[in-house]
Amino acid sequence: MKVMFKTIVEKIDILSDEITDDKNFWYNIEECEGSLFGKYARLRLIERVDSEKLSFRDLKENGLKAAPQDPMRVRE
């Protein structure tokens, strides 16, 4: 329920045949296979953060309308 990772987008518009095979991390293989349509992005981890200022509650109190679904810049 909070932002915990700072990443950089390394590549966009990746097709499913170019992504990492992560089936071992899915509980439902059918859902995994059903998710393989569309385009993906490859992210590189820059830093792990753990700040209450980035909790969903605090972000909402400071103007965030809903859980982030799109890219955005966050300054601590």
User: pLDDT tens-digit profile of 6-16?
Assistant: 999 999 888 88
pLDDT at 76 over 60: no
pLDDT for residue 10: 92
Reported pTM: 0.59
| One-letter amino acid for residue 9 of the chain | V
pLDDT for residue 70: 63
| One-letter amino acid for residue 28 of the chain | N
Of 43, 38, 36, nearest in space to 21 by CA: 36
pLDDT for residue 23: 83
- Helix runs in 2-65, H state only: 29-34, 56-61
Of 41, 43, 47, 62, nearest in space to 4 by CA: 47
Task: Check: CB of residue 58 under 8 Å from CB of residue 52.
Answer: yes
